[in-house]
């Protein structure tokens, strides 16, 4: 049978099959055959699945962003993992909903728009210009495929198009401006009874029994902080280096084989010599002959240091000296790139440019080898670090292995590597000082593995040249604080509570009386400990913006504008709680709409708000139209990560 | 399953089968290929259209000149793409800024008739606000009456409140604003604006002045 096919197959069959294969690849591409490993599903949107791998990746990216934002301060425990993951997942769902919308409605970025965007990424640029090679390199380094990346960009661009269409097309009509300006600039005439806590704190009492019984009922509120004492070994490049044996021989050998590292330029001798020459000239010696004898400027020495007529433009420092000298004068010793010089001006030709005939003597400083005794310590250190570099990574490896193999003790690590076993004091989650304040150390010390299971931590890389392994020596769980320690705190809070109840009673009574048309004066007499404040006209905006009614608590101002308006001859009264247990009873006497208009800024702000919220509504609407299901299991599985 | 006695017979059978079925098989393949090719051509055409529309739309966003002209091109030649509607929103805004409410209304009406439901709601809400700004209360009312959609419910309730206030029905307006706030979180940017409108309608002793304003205001005028 097979033989027959083989024979016949030369013809039609093969061509049909090959044809089919070719067509299917030509039409659908290779991509659709390569995807589709089984995965755990976190959510699905209209049947399209978001895998838990996608979720984990997005979550990690999010954490990475937080880490960049908070730097050293970052501690993953700051963010409740499950809640954050929920939010990240909602973000992914929104993205998927939008992607489907883009596809369905036919929103699409053009190739030019995509390319424009790619060109702007710094990562794809070389010397500020987009480079195609670099683009391919970066993508393959990131394990990304160009087509997928460009599709992502296309979606970003199209999403942004919708967003800006909705956002930037928001408007506010003239009539709406008037209405909002009228409300925002409304004035209200108010006053208030200030019922502060202070007078009542003096009038209330708390007995010792009350304090005691409160403590007994609520002891769970008064806990000491959990504390640990840790043991740790530290592997530090500097310590390793200090332990390295380097012999006198090795140091000497290093000194002799690479003397070029230990040369210095002997400025002192050169300067001394040229100063001497200058003195001789000033005492009458001939400049030219000294130059011939001593100058190290080979070009001019034979001519007695004569440089001929010069114009400006040799070197700034040299020019400055030459064109400041008088005819015949000899310069101070100057130091230039060439070496030490003295200069004499023999003749000046005024004109444009001015020319000066110059002689000079140049002495170059000699390079000298530093004496062995001076550099010995530095060479020793250098050699020690060279050796330590080889040892350190071996030691770190061994430290890692040993602490893992005997998880219940650090002694083997300390013994094997000759390290000191350190012990900290008891410390809270906030840590101690220096190394003990390092977030990596604290995170490890309070981790499940170390704290609950009593194991050695993994190797903690404090820096590239500083590793630590630790374990918990002692753990003091949070415990109820002794009564004596918290007595005064409890008494304080009970006093506050009682005073606050008193203040609330007074506030309620004042409110009731005023509401029943009792006069403000009569209330003032009845409660002399309170204070009536006649504020006058206020506006919604705060003091800083209006510069009126300074010192009015924000809550009070805000509440005054939420209160019902007074109707003819009626004052509108209400109670409001202020910070720190203080209370107030507010009166709104009058309301006036001003004819002030909003500024262009105000109107822009409102327009922007309308645009933003329209887009949010749009997204929310699209989500409500989609069939979304979230699998709870997907992120309960690994919340401990 | 038939049993063949020899390879010869098998070959014969295959040959026979080929004779009987070759025409329909080849026809099937040809039709299949044609359909697939047609589908490909059609999607390619749609992609090209979308990409061109996308480019024109970007031009409208980034430039000041010829915005309206380019929007017209999108409406006539690319009305199958969603970009025509987006351009309509933007041109409408420009008209509002120049206080040409009639023109803006024409644009938004077109968007309402020619967009998918999300953009449609946005256009419809804006259209209602324009009618209200022209004191065309009936037209505004007709657009938003009884509309209930998730995502846009605060916006619809707010405009219904504005309409009821214009009709001098402050009690109903209060209820509309209250419903609008109920569907927003207090952190929402729109919240304070609606809250301000609602608070302004509260009166002590729930006595309502006939026009919803207080006497103090009348004195100030």
Minimal C-alpha gap between A123 and chain B (Å): 25
Only one residue has tokens 């806990």, namely A223
Among A4, A171, A592, the residue with its CB nearest the CB of B217 is A592
Q: What is the pLDDT of residue A11?
A: 63
Q: How confident is the model at residue A317 (pLDDT cuts 50, 70, 90)?
A: confident
Is the domain A267-365 a CATH 3.40.50.970 member?
no
The count of other CB atoms within 10 Å of the CB of residue A20 is 13
Token code pair at residue B102: 């009639």
Q: What is the pLDDT of residue A28?
A: 57
Minimal C-alpha gap between A592 and chain B (Å): 5
Rg (CA), chain B: 31
Chain A residues inside the 8 Å CB shell of B58: 113, 161
Q: What is the pLDDT of residue B220?
A: 36
Q: What angle do helix axes B7-62 and A12-28 make, rounded to 10 degrees?
A: 20
Selection from A289, A356, A355 nearest residue A328 by Cα: A356
Phi then psi for A79, rounded to 5 degrees? -120, 120
The count of other CB atoms within 10 Å of the CB of residue A241 is 22
Chain B residues inside the 8 Å CB shell of A166: 89, 119, 122
Average pLDDT over residues A314-338: 83
**Bridge partners of A349?**
A355
Residue B22 has pLDDT above 80, yes or no: yes
Give the sign of the dihedral formed by CA A21, CA A23, CA A28, CA A29. positive
Residue A13 has pLDDT above 90, yes or no: no
A409: left (phi over 0), alpha (psi -120 to 50) or beta: beta
State pLDDT tens for residues A78-118.
Answer: 666 778 888 889 999 999 999 999 988 888 888 888 988 88
Chain A residues inside the 8 Å CB shell of B93: 168-171
Q: How far apart are CA A639 and CA A89, in angstroms?
A: 13
Average pLDDT over residues A192-197: 92
Q: What is the pLDDT of residue A122?
A: 82
How confident is the prediction for chain A on average, in pLDDT?
Answer: 85
Q: What is the pLDDT of residue A640?
A: 40
Interface residue B215 vs chain A (CB under 8 A): yes
Hey, where are the domains in chain A? 2-106+169-180+615-640, 186-204+496-592, 227-248+375-476, 267-365
Token code pair at residue A481: 């604080």
Q: What is the pLDDT of residue A585?
A: 95
Q: Model-level pTM greater than 0.80?
A: no
Is there a contact between A567 and B200 if contact means CB atoms under 8 Å apart? Answer: no
Q: What is the pLDDT of residue A25?
A: 62
Q: Establish how many alpha carbons lie within 13 A of residue A616's alpha carbon, considering only the half-sphere containing its beta carbon.
A: 15
Q: What is the pLDDT of residue B215?
A: 38
Residue A638 has pLDDT above 60, yes or no: no
Q: What is the pLDDT of residue B221?
A: 32
State pLDDT tens for residues A304-315.
Answer: 888 888 888 777
Selection from A559, A543, A553 nearest residue A511 by Cα: A559
Q: How far apart are CA A250 and CA A157, in angstroms?
A: 65
Q: How confident is the model at residue A36 (pLDDT cuts 50, 70, 90)?
A: very low
Q: How confident is the model at residue A133 (pLDDT cuts 50, 70, 90)?
A: confident
Q: What is the pLDDT of residue B216?
A: 38
- Using a 10 angstrom Cβ sphere, with 0-12 exposed, 13-18 middle and 19 or more buried, the burial of residue B177 is buried
H/E stretch holding A390: helix A372-405
Interface residue B80 vs chain A (CB under 8 A): yes
Q: What is the pLDDT of residue A301?
A: 84
Q: What is the 3-state secondary structure (H, E, C) of B93-148?
A: HHHHHCCCHHHHHHHHHHHHHCCCHHHHHHHHHHHHHHHHHCCCHHHHHHHHCCCC
**Number of inter-chain CB pairs under 8 A, A vs B:** 187
Q: What Å distances lie between residue A481 and A223, A427, A431, A487, A520, CA to CA?
A: 5, 17, 20, 10, 49
Minimal C-alpha gap between A622 and chain B (Å): 7
Average pLDDT over residues A406-416: 90
Among B126, B206, B217, the residue with its CB nearest the CB of A591 is B217
Q: Looking at A78-207, which runs of residues are DSSP E strands?
A: 125-126, 129-130, 187-195
Q: What is the pLDDT of residue A632?
A: 75
Asked if A572 and A590 count as a contact pair (C-beta separation under 8 A), the reply is no
Q: What is the pLDDT of residue B198?
A: 94
Is there a contact between B197 and A183 if contact means CB atoms under 8 Å apart? Answer: yes
Q: What is the pLDDT of residue B167?
A: 94
Residue A208 has pLDDT above 60, yes or no: yes
Q: How confident is the model at residue A77 (pLDDT cuts 50, 70, 90)?
A: low
Chain A residues inside the 8 Å CB shell of B36: 23, 27
Q: How confident is the model at residue B212 (pLDDT cuts 50, 70, 90)?
A: very low
Asked if B102 and B85 count as a contact pair (C-beta separation under 8 A), the reply is no
Q: What is the pLDDT of residue B214?
A: 39
Among A107, A562, A564, the residue with its CB nearest the CB of B82 is A107
Q: Residue A609's Cα: distance from chain center in Å?
A: 28
Q: What is the pLDDT of residue A352?
A: 78
Q: What angle do helix axes A267-282 and A287-294 make, rounded to 10 degrees?
A: 160
- Using a 10 angstrom Cβ sphere, with 0-12 exposed, 13-18 middle and 19 or more buried, the burial of residue A200 is buried
State pLDDT tens for residues A237-265.
Answer: 988 898 888 888 888 888 888 777 787 88
Query: Nearest residue of A to residue B129 by CA position?
Result: A173
Asked if B183 and B160 count as a contact pair (C-beta separation under 8 A), the reply is no
The count of other CB atoms within 10 Å of the CB of residue A267 is 13
Q: What is the pLDDT of residue B207?
A: 39
pLDDT > 90 in chain A, percent: 27
State pLDDT tens for residues B43-72.
Answer: 888 888 888 888 888 888 877 677 888 888
Q: How far apart are CA B164 and CA A535, in angstroms?
A: 35
Q: How far apart are CA A54 and CA A557, in angstroms?
A: 48
Minimal C-alpha gap between A560 and chain B (Å): 10
Helix ranges (H only) for A432-482 are: 439-445
Asked if A561 and A187 count as a contact pair (C-beta separation under 8 A), the reply is no
Residue A6 has pLDDT above 70, yes or no: no
Average pLDDT over residues A469-482: 88
Hey, where are the domains in chain B? 64-145, 148-221
Phi then psi for A437, rounded to 5 degrees? -100, -5
Minimal C-alpha gap between B65 and chain A (Å): 16
Query: Nearest residue of B to residue A593 by CA position?
Result: B217
Query: Nearest residue of A to residue B29 by CA position?
Result: A20
Residues 6+ apart with CB under 8 A from A203: A499, A502
Q: In what order do the strands lie in the sheet with A227-236?
A: A422-423, A227-236, A466-476, A460-463
Q: How far apart are CA A383 and CA A102, in angstroms?
A: 64
Residue A548 has pLDDT above 70, yes or no: no
DSSP assignment of chain B, as one string? ----SSHHHHHHHHHHHHHHHHHHHHHHHHHHHHHHHHHHHHHHHHHHHHHHHHHHHHHHHH-STTHHHHHHHHHHH-TTSTHHHHHHHHHHHHHHHTT-HHHHHHHHHHHHHTS-HHHHHHHHHHHHHHHHHTT-HHHHHHHHTT---TTTHHHHHHHHHHHHHHTT-HHHHHHHHHHHHHTS-TTSTTHHHHHHHHHTT-BGGG---TTSS-HHHHHH-
Q: What is the pLDDT of residue B206?
A: 42
State pLDDT tens for residues A525-544.
Answer: 999 999 999 988 888 876 55
Interface residue B182 vs chain A (CB under 8 A): no
Average pLDDT over residues A218-232: 87
Rg (CA), chain A: 42
Average pLDDT over residues A608-632: 92
Average pLDDT over residues A201-225: 87
Average pLDDT over residues A73-77: 64
Interface residue B52 vs chain A (CB under 8 A): yes
| The most confident of A53-67, A304-318, A574-588, by mean pLDDT | A574-588
Is the domain B64-145 a CATH 1.10.10 member?
no
Chain B residues inside the 8 Å CB shell of A183: 196-197, 200
Q: How far apart are CA A99 and CA A103, in angstroms?
A: 6
Q: What is the dihedral of CA A7, A13, A15, A17, to 10 degrees?
A: -130
Only one residue has tokens 């009348």, namely B218
Minimal C-alpha gap between B94 and chain A (Å): 8
Query: Nearest residue of B to residue A566 by CA position?
Result: B204
Among A108, A168, A606, the residue with its CB nearest the CB of B90 is A168
The count of other CB atoms within 10 Å of the CB of residue A143 is 6
Q: What is the 3-state secondary structure (H, E, C) of A598-619?
A: CCHHHHHHHHHHHHHHHHHHHH
Which has more confidence, B165 or A375? B165
State pLDDT tens for residues A262-283.
Answer: 878 888 888 888 899 899 888 8
State pLDDT tens for residues A153-189.
Answer: 999 999 999 998 999 999 999 999 999 999 988 999 9
Residue B174 has pLDDT above 70, yes or no: yes
Minimal C-alpha gap between A81 and chain B (Å): 22
């Amino acid at each position: 049978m097979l033989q027959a096919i083989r024979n016949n197959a030369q013809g039609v069959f093969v061509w049909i099959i090959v044809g089919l294969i070719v067509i299917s690849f030509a039409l659908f591409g290779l991509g659709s055959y390569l995807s589709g490993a089984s995965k755990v599903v976190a959510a699905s949107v209209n049947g399209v699945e978001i895998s838990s791998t996608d979720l984990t990746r997005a979550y990690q990216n999010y954490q990475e962003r937080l880490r960049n934002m908070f730097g050293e301060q970052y501690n993953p425990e700051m963010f409740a993992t499950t809640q954050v993951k929920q939010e990240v997942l909602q973000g992914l769902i929104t993205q998927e909903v939008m992607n489907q919308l883009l596809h369905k409605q036919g929103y699409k970025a053009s190739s030019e728009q995509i390319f424009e965007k790619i060109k702007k990424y710094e990562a794809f640029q070389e010397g500020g210009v987009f480079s195609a090679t670099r683009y391919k390199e970066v993508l393959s380094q990131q394990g990304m495929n160009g087509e997928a990346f460009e599709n992502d960009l296309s979606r970003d661009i199209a999403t942004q198009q919708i967003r800006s269409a909705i956002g930037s097309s928001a408007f506010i009509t003239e009539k709406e401006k008037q209405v909002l300006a009228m409300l925002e600039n409304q004035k209200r005439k108010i006053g208030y009874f200030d019922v502060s806590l202070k007078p009542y704190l003096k009038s209330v009492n708390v007995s010792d029994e009350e304090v005691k019984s409160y403590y007994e009922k609520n002891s769970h509120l008064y806990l000491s902080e959990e504390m640990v004492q840790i043991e740790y070994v530290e592997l530090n490049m500097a310590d390793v280096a200090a332990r390295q044996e380097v012999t006198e021989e090795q140091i000497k050998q290093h000194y002799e084989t690479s003397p070029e590292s230990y040369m210095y330029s002997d400025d002192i001798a050169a300067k001394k010599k040229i100063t001497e020459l200058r003195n001789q000239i000033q005492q009458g010696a001939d400049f030219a002959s000294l130059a011939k004898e001593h100058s190290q400027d080979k070009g001019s020495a034979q001519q007695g240091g004569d440089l001929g007529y010069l114009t400006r433009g040799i070197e700034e420092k040299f020019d400055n000296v030459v064109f400041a000298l008088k005819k015949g004068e000899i310069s101070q010793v100057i130091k230039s790139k060439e070496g030490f010089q003295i200069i004499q001006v023999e003749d000046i030709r005024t004109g444009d440019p001015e020319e000066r005939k110059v002689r000079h003597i140049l002495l170059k400083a000699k390079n000298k080898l530093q004496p062995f005794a001076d550099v010995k310590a530095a060479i020793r250190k250098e050699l020690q670090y060279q050796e330590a570099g080889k040892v350190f990574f071996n030691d770190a490896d061994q430290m890692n292995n040993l602490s893992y193999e005997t998880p219940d003790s650090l002694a083997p690590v300390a013994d094997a590597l000759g390290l000191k076993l350190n012990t900290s004091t008891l410390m809270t989650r906030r840590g101690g000082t220096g190394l003990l304040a390092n977030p990596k150390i604290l995170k490890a010390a309070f981790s499940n593995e170390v704290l609950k299971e009593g194991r050695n931590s993994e190797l903690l890389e404090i820096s590239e040249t500083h590793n630590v392994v630790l374990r918990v020596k002692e753990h003091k769980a949070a415990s109820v604080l002794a009564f004596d320690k918290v007595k005064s705190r409890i008494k304080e809070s009970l006093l506050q509570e009682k005073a606050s109840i008193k203040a609330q009673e007074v506030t309620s009574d004042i409110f009731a009386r005023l509401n029943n048309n009792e006069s403000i004066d009569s209330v003032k007499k009845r409660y002399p400990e309170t204070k009536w404040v006649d504020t006058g006209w206020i506006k919604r905006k705060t003091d800083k913006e209006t510069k009126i009614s300074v010192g009015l608590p924000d809550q009070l101002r805000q509440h005054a504008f939420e209160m019902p308006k007074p109707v003819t001859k009626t004052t509108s009264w209400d109670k409001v709680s202020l910070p720190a247990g203080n209370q107030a009873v507010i009166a709104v006497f009058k309301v006036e709409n001003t004819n002030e208009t909003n500024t262009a800024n105000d109107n822009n702000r409102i327009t922007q708000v309308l645009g933003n919220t329209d887009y949010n509504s749009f997204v929310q609407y699209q989500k409500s139209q989609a069939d979304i299901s979230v699998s709870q299991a997907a992120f309960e599985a690994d919340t401990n990560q | 399953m038939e049993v063949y006695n020899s390879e010869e017979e098998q070959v014969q059978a295959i040959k026979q089968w080929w004779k009987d079925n070759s025409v329909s098989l080849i026809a099937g393949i040809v039709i299949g290929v044609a359909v697939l090719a047609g589908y490909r051509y059609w999607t390619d055409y749609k992609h090209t259209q979308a990409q061109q529309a996308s480019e024109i739309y970007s031009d409208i966003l980034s430039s000041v000149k010829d915005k309206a002209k380019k929007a017209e091109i999108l409406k006539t030649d690319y009305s199958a793409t969603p970009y025509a509607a987006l351009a309509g929103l933007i041109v409408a805004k420009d008209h509002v800024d120049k206080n040409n409410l009639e023109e803006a209304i024409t644009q938004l009406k077109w968007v309402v008739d020619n967009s998918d439901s999300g953009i449609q709601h946005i256009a419809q809400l804006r259209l209602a606000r324009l009618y209200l700004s022209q004191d065309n209360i009936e037209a505004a009312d007709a657009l938003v009456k009884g509309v209930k959609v998730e995502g846009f419910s605060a916006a619809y309730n707010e405009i219904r409140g504005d309409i009821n206030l214009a009709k001098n029905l402050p009690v109903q307006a209060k209820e509309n604003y209250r419903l609008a706030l109920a569907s927003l979180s207090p952190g929402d940017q729109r919240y304070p604006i609606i809250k301000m409108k609602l608070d302004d309608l509260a009166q002590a002793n729930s006595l309502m002045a006939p026009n919803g304003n207080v006497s103090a205001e009348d004195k100030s005028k």
